[in-house]
Amino acid sequence: MRFQNTVLFFLLLLILSVNAQQMEEYTHPWEGKIENSKIFNFTVAIKNLQSGDATFKISNNQSIIDYRFKTNANGQINIPFAENLLFEGTVAPNKKEINGFIKSGLLLYHLKLRKVKNDSFVGIWNILMVDEQKSQKFFLSIENGSGNDYEAYPVFGDNRFTGTWCSNFKKQNSHIAFNDVKTGLLFKGELLNNKIQLGIFLGSHLISEINLTKSTIDWKIGGFNTDNKKSILQLVEMESLISKDSLLNTHGVLISRNGKLIYEKYFDGYNENIPHDMRSASKSISSAIVGIAKDQLLFKNVDQSIFAFLPAKYQTHKDSLKAKIDIQSLLTMSSGLDAIDYGVNANPKSPAVEDNYQMAEDMTTAILSATMINRPNTNANYGSANPYLLGVAMDSLVSEPLEIFIDRNLFQKLDISNYIIQSDLNGRPYFGGGMYLTSRDMLKFGELYLSKGKWNSQRILSKKWIESSFENYRVLENTKDKNGYGYLWWHHTYKVNGKSIKSIEARGAGGQYIFVIPTLKTVVVITSGNYRNGKTQQPETIFEKYILPFVPN
């Protein structure tokens, strides 16, 4: 009996000691090492598609997921292969490839699975967006620890991955768990004496396990070299300034002239295979999707009210003024709603709905609930709420998932397959920005507009839509330069050797630019990483001072 009591006593001590672990003890920077540089580069395979009893497989250096699913005869594939993870796609008419998306977190990763043998289709899924981790270092910042409360933020040594957005922090005894809202990755850790054992999961499937110890020195992140190909055009001064960090965080510069690539350089470890976060530059792609829908007669005119496309539950927000919010007003940032990005204005006059609606449970309600500060189609103020409503409208018009419509009608025709679409909280493609395209594919998109809607002699967008998109409708009143604005395209004029050169531009935070210069038959793409240092518009300086003087007139 005494022995049993002793055992129970020590078991109680052990339980109390585990429960007594307080997160204050672990509020610290931690670091470890990923087991290999391609652990997050997955091979995705669909096998035995025609048998009616097919398999969906995900693997890296080991099998991660092996999921059986039933097929149907219409060529549509929908595979819920793990909790909150889904593959949807379509078999090409020639039966040689499958185009589709893995829905993981807020991201829709496009995959092209090519037929390799018999009835097998294979493709690659780079969940961290890079083709290989150049650094195997992994860091974890545990912050604001108090009792069982904490926050945890994973940081990869390869900063070409744009980072995690973690939430849902939980703790039970010695175990912690949280997830990355963006990629859908799940993190589970065990708190041990002076270390943390952290597992990274796809649903319930383990990808990698990392042993973390407390960091004793500052983290070293990024700083990678790029092997560049030779270009026809030489921009020596620009390259020198980039290498000296005088043109900070420039990731890529590409130039095409008369449809031919004449300059292509990458920096900080970037290359032609890495999709770059376009931020709001992909608003211009959203404009193209509206144009395709219009060309296909899915709606009649751009002067149709947005309420013609909204479900019944949103009709309660309609009044005599809001009823005048039409497709064109949304395309030109002139809905009149107080859903403005005051971040581009040094002296905001009122709180920005822009800062609040994006995390609302129902973004559409949050936007439509905003007050009207102008009549539609009169005053333009830049923000993301207007194009968001366009996405809701387009989703109501198409008979298939909107991302499939986008892929089939735009990206497949441009031979673009290595890309990612950010979704909203409902899983719908977010028209306010956030696509990831490679710099070469951004250049293709600019070329499509330069060539008035044709690509390789194929008509993708009508000439009329391109011309309407490039019109200068009105000034963006909440921008420093008071830029003119088209259908989600910026206008700007540059001075070079005493001449004025007009440019039509897709622009995104951090310095993501597609410059289309019709008079020079030139497209320029610049990607950057200046998200929080006030250098978002640095590409304009690069373009005006170091590129335009060397582009032949």
- Residue-wise pLDDT for 125-143, tens only, equals 999 999 999 999 999 999 9
Minimum mean pLDDT range among 269-278, 337-346, 489-498: 337-346
Expressed in angstroms, the distance from the first to the final Cα of the chain is 97
433-446 average pLDDT score: 97
Q: Is 110 helix (H, G, I), strand (E, B) or coil?
A: strand
pTM, two decimals, is: 0.94
pLDDT score at 20: 55
Q: Is 354 helix (H, G, I), strand (E, B) or coil?
A: helix
pLDDT score at 340: 78
164-193 average pLDDT score: 97
CA 493 vs CA 208, 250, 256, 523: distances in Å: 50, 22, 19, 15
How many CA atoms lie within 13 Å of 544's alpha carbon, on the beta-carbon side? 17
Residue 195's DSSP bridge partners are 192, 213
User: Residue 356 and residue 339: Cα distance in Å, rounded?
Assistant: 9
pLDDT score at 4: 56
Closest among 410, 405, 403, 363 to 383, alpha carbons compared: 363
User: How many Å is the Cα radius of gyration of the chain?
Assistant: 25
Structure tokens at 508: 């995104």
Please spell the DSSP secondary structure of 214-274, one letter per residue: E--S----------PPP-SS--HHHHHHHHTTSSTTEEEEEEEETTEEEEEEE-TT--TTS
Higher pLDDT: 53 or 232? It is 232
User: Residue 334 and residue 319: Cα distance in Å, rounded?
Assistant: 17
User: Residue 266 and residue 253: Cα distance in Å, rounded?
Assistant: 7
379-398 average pLDDT score: 97
Mean pLDDT of the chain: 93
pLDDT score at 349: 44
442-453 average pLDDT score: 98
Exposure string of 100-112, with b = 16+ CB inside 10 Å and e = fewer, is: bbbbbbbbbbbbb
255-279 average pLDDT score: 97
User: Residue 379 and residue 256: Cα distance in Å, rounded?
Assistant: 35
Q: Are 474 and 376 in contact (CB under 8 A)?
A: no
Strand segments (E) across 258-367? 260-266, 276-277
User: Residue 31 and residue 33: Cα distance in Å, rounded?
Assistant: 7
At 216, the amino acid letter reads T
Residue 545 DSSP class: I
| Distance of alpha carbon 306 from the chain centroid | 25
Going 242 to 507 to 364 to 111, the CA torsion angle's sign is negative
Percent of the chain at pLDDT > 90 equals 88
pLDDT band at residue 73 using 50, 70 and 90 as cut-offs: confident
- Residue-wise pLDDT for 400-417, tens only, equals 999 999 999 999 999 999
Going 434 to 438 to 444 to 450, the CA torsion angle's sign is positive
pLDDT score at 188: 98
- For the cut 70, the answer to whether the pLDDT of residue 2 exceeds it is no
pLDDT score at 118: 81
pLDDT score at 348: 41
Q: Are 34 and 212 in contact (CB under 8 A)?
A: no
Q: Are 188 and 198 in contact (CB under 8 A)?
A: yes
Q: Are 299 and 327 in contact (CB under 8 A)?
A: yes
Q: Are 294 and 447 in contact (CB under 8 A)?
A: no
pLDDT score at 16: 45
User: Residue 383 and residue 333: Cα distance in Å, rounded?
Assistant: 7
At 525, the amino acid letter reads V
DSSP H or E stretch at residue 209? strand 205-214
- Residue-wise pLDDT for 169-180, tens only, equals 999 999 999 999
- For the cut 80, the answer to whether the pLDDT of residue 38 exceeds it is yes
pLDDT band at residue 8 using 50, 70 and 90 as cut-offs: low
User: Residue 94 and residue 96: Cα distance in Å, rounded?
Assistant: 5
Residue 65's DSSP bridge partners are 58
CA 79 vs CA 19, 49, 62, 418: distances in Å: 40, 12, 21, 21
- For the cut 70, the answer to whether the pLDDT of residue 459 exceeds it is yes
- Residue-wise pLDDT for 74-95, tens only, equals 778 999 999 999 999 999 999 9
pLDDT score at 356: 66
Percent of the chain at pLDDT > 70 equals 94
| Domain 225-274+439-553 CATH assignment equals 3.40.190.10 | no
pLDDT score at 113: 98
- Residue-wise pLDDT for 318-360, tens only, equals 999 999 999 999 999 999 999 877 555 433 444 445 556 777 7
Tell me phi and psi for residue 411, to 5 degrees: -70, -40
Give residue limits of the domains in the chain: 20-37+132-214, 41-126, 225-274+439-553
DSSP H or E stretch at residue 7? helix 2-19
